[in-house]
Every structure is written in C-alpha cells, then in structure tokens.
Amino acid sequence: MKYVCRTEAEEIYNELLNEYKFSLEQLIELSGLGAAQAIAEAFPLNSEMKSCLFAIGPGDNGAKGLACARHIKHFGYSPVIFLVSELLRPSFINFQNQCEMSDIPCLEELPEAEMIAENYSFIVDAIYGNNFHPPIRPNSAIVLDTLMKYKLPICCIDIPSGWDTDSGYLKNAIQPNVVISDIVPKYCVSTIDGIQHYLAGRILPPMLGEKYELNLPQYPGHFMYVKIN
Amino acid sequence: MKYVCRTEAEEIYNELLNEYKFSLEQLIELSGLGAAQAIAEAFPLNSEMKSCLFAIGPGDNGAKGLACARHIKHFGYSPVIFLVSELLRPSFINFQNQCEMSDIPCLEELPEAEMIAENYSFIVDAIYGNNFHPPIRPNSAIVLDTLMKYKLPICCIDIPSGWDTDSGYLKNAIQPNVVISDIVPKYCVSTIDGIQHYLAGRILPPMLGEKYELNLPQYPGHFMYVKIN
C-alpha cells in the first residue's frame, strides 16, 4: 500500500472535484460517514463509551468532522462539537447547521482538560488535515495541549493535527490512538507506531487508484471503511 | 410505522434542504449509498448475481440511481446504466459523469427484453419517484413494459415507477420484487404484498422524525439501511 505525499493527495482530490465532478459536499459527506463507521468499530457503543468531543478546524478536515459527528449521533453516541476557529466556507457552515439542528451541542469555549477527561470517553480530532502547513500557531498549540493533557483516547480524521503530511510529527502535535486516513493514507501516518489505523472515504474510482499506483486494501463487502493495523 | 403521502414527503425533503441546509448532492449521495447497501443484501454478490441494469429517470430518483450504481460498482457488481430521458439538472449530469469515469457503461438504447434477460441478473428501477404525477407517458410505458417482460427481479428505488405515491398501482406500472424506500416509506408501498421492503437514506434527524410522528424502524448499528419486510 502506498502512502502519498501532500502534493499527490492534493492532485487526487482535485481530480475527484474537477474531472470526476464530485461536489465538495459529496466528498465530505462520504468521508464523514466512513470515519463515523470506523469510530463505531474502534470505540464500540456502550454506556461508558458514548459521549465524545469533536475538535473542529476551519477547513475541509473540520467539515468532515461535522459530518462524522452527525452520523455518530444517529448511531446512538452523544457527540459535542467545539470549533477551534471560524469555518472558512458557507458550505462548511451548512454542515455545522446540520449538527446543531440534529441536537448536537456546540461549545463556545474549550473546557479545562480536567472537565474534558470527566465528561467524554474519547476525542475526535478534526482540526487539521492534509492542507495544514507548519508551524502550529500559538492559539492552536493551547488547544492541542489541552486535548492531550489527560491521555483520553484520541481519534484523528485523516492526519493527527499538527503533523506535516510529508515530514511527520512536529513538537506539540496530537499523539493519536486511532487514525482514520481519508480516501488515501498520507505519508506521515506510515511513521506512527502502535496506533489503530483505518482507511475510510470509499470514494476512489478504480481507475484513479491504478493511475496513482495506490494498491489500497480491499474494503470488505459494502463497508465504507477498512482496518489497516 | 407511518407511510407518508406525497405532500408530506415533499415537506420533509424541503425541510432537509431549506432548514437543515443539506445540499441536494449530499442527500442524493446518502440515498444512493443506502440503496446500494440494501441491494448488496437483497442480491448477494456471486458469479451469477453480478451484472445489473439501472434504468435511470430524469429527476432526483434517477440521480439516486446513478449514485447507487457507482457504489454497487465499488462493491464488485457490474452495473450498466440506461437513461430513459435526459437528466434535468447539471448536478445530475455530474452523477452521470462520475459513473462513466468509474467505468460503468451507459447504453444508448434500451436492449430488447430477451437481451436484458440474457445479460443481467436483476434490474434497478430508478426512473420515477415521489415527484411522478400520472399518467405514464407512452414512451415510458414502452420502457416499463420491456423491463417487466421476462420477469427478471426488479428492485425499485423509493417507489416502483409508474405508481402514484397516494393512490398506488397504475396500469402498466412496474411490479417490484424489492422496494427500497428513500428516507421515509411512501403510502403506495404499504399496499404491495409479497415484496422485500427496505428503508434506506439514513438522513433524518431525530427531531424531524418526531415532528412528523414517523415512528421509523431503528437502523442496526452503523448500517445505512434496515429491512422492514
């Protein structure tokens, strides 16, 4: 299986949008759904594994987190969302609206680390994805630090926030327990040991997989995610 | 469980679009995916159950069929599409483009009934849905007649083509083996005996279900469809 660099990931995404004519909302919806289904396997629903905090970034990765939170809610979990900064596009605000109208609370401030550890059983990191360019800005560093303080399990959508797709871990970045790669696994994920690794976002037409020689694992039956490690 | 009339189905759909701010592509994508997963249960994939003919109408129902065909292709089936008439919106043409670029053949003419029976193991009817208003036009009547001639199993997305949501079966309409209701079951489906009935399009926020007193069956786990009968 190939782990792609940032440029290649961007090329594939742009091809899906411009040549295959997928709408951005369509891609985000499928990615969010696949991630939600992988989360349902990684953190099986029960009375102690129900409430979760979604940290949402301003871009695509955040919008995928919002779609994921909505589906997780349908599955019976109790997600709560926190927007790390303002969403960048009107269509992303629509995803936020869908969450709010689906009765998912949106926190105005990030709680203290102790409160997070008390109230949630796991964290979903949907802050930064493939578009993130280092360095980590000071206000984000505070958020990442708070999320990691009490060693609650952290599940990252696509890329752990603060990591660089090509060069990997950076100081103060998220240290994940679970990573759900989106559409194609990114290079930085290949360097992480001891995590559960899923692939979701079952979108890629076979021809595009062949063109980029991705050699992705086969999704089982009609499942929208596949476990890699 | 409530079976809704056409007006109520339209109200719910418009609420999803206008109040919940779902994009039409998002809804179509989720409906198409849920239908594809239900088909994978109703017609389990094997060497004799692989090739299928999708009859695609010009509106929403047709676009859901196109999304469904793309997912079915990812699951390992060999779908072929036939457009009964020109697609009504540019975004529906994008769904067609996604099919063609996913190596799904698009037939220019509907084959003779005998050829259909020889080459395909089942038919997916995505011609008309809730927006269909009788009567069946003569050119559609010919298509419906050809599809039904050899008693190949027919799976209908949302509503069997040619049925009226409120008054049910009309002469020359499709007689289905499987119906996959989309988001909410429509009234006409309640009057059909001896079919397999699924609900897919797991989109409805709980509050909307309560508002319309739908009392829908519970989807199992993270599945995007549920079997009703």
Cα separation, A1 vs B61, in Å, equals 37
Q: Report pLDDT for B168.
A: 85
Q: Do B103 and A19 touch (CB under 8 A)?
A: no
Beta bridge partners of A182: A200
**Partners of residue B75 in chain A, C-beta under 8 Å:** 221-222
Residues A187, A5 contacting (CB under 8 angstroms): yes
Beta bridge partners of A82: A55, A107
Give the residue on B whose Cα is nearest the Cα of A21.
Answer: B94
Q: What is the pLDDT of residues B87-136, one digit of tens each?
A: 999 999 999 999 999 999 999 999 999 999 999 999 999 999 999 988 88
Q: Do B94 and A22 touch (CB under 8 A)?
A: yes
Q: Report pLDDT for A49.
A: 85
**Is A6-227 in CATH node 3.40.50.10260?**
yes
Query: What SS3 state is found at B152?
Result: coil
Q: Do A74 and B202 touch (CB under 8 A)?
A: yes
Beta strand extents in chain B (DSSP E only): 51-56, 78-83, 106-107, 122-126, 154-157, 178-182, 196-200, 225-227
The yes-or-no verdict on residue A47 having pLDDT over 90 is no
**Partners of residue B222 in chain A, C-beta under 8 Å:** 36-37, 40, 71, 75
Query: What SS3 state is found at B198?
Result: strand
Give all strands of the β-sheet with B78-83 in edge-to-edge order. Answer: B106-107, B78-83, B51-56, B122-126, B154-157, B178-182, B196-200, B225-227
Query: Interhelix angle for A60-74 vs A24-42, to 10°?
Result: 50
Optimal mutation site among A222, A224, A225, A226, interface B, most CBs of chain B within 10 A: A222
Q: Do B25 and A25 touch (CB under 8 A)?
A: yes
Q: Report pLDDT for A217.
A: 96
Q: Which of B26, B40, B102 sits opposite A25 (nearest CB)?
A: B26
- Would you tell me which residues 98-127 of chain A have a C-beta closer than 8 angstroms to some C-beta of chain B? 98, 101-103
Phi, psi of B82, deg, nearest 5:
-135, 125
What ipTM does the predicted assembly reach?
0.96
Best CA proximity match to B157, nearest among B23, B41, B54, B25: B54
Q: What is the pLDDT of residues B41-66, one digit of tens each?
A: 999 999 888 999 999 999 999 999 99
Provide the residue ranges of all domains of chain A, joining segments of one domain with +: 6-227
**Partners of residue A74 in chain B, C-beta under 8 Å:** 202, 219
* Nearest chain A Cα distance for residue B88, angstroms: 17
Q: Report pLDDT for A48.
A: 87
Residues B116, B51 contacting (CB under 8 angstroms): no
Query: Interhelix angle for B90-101 vs B24-42, to 10°?
Result: 40
**Partners of residue B102 in chain A, C-beta under 8 Å:** 20, 205-207
B149-179 as b/e: b if 16+ CB within 10 A = eeebbbbbbbbbbbbbbeebeeebbbebbbb
Prediction pTM value: 0.97
Residues B200, B180 contacting (CB under 8 angstroms): yes
Could you tell me the sign of the dihedral formed by the alpha carbons of B37, B41, B45, B49, in that order?
Answer: negative
pLDDT category of residue A179 using cuts at 50, 70 and 90: very high
Could you tell me the sign of the dihedral formed by the alpha carbons of B205, B210, B214, B219, in that order?
Answer: positive
**Partners of residue A75 in chain B, C-beta under 8 Å:** 221-222
Residues A102, B210 contacting (CB under 8 angstroms): no
| Residue B90 forms contact with A (CB below 8 Å) | no
Which parts of chain A fold into alpha helices (H)?
A: 6-18, 24-42, 60-74, 90-101, 113-119, 138-148, 206-211
Average pLDDT over residues A119-134: 95
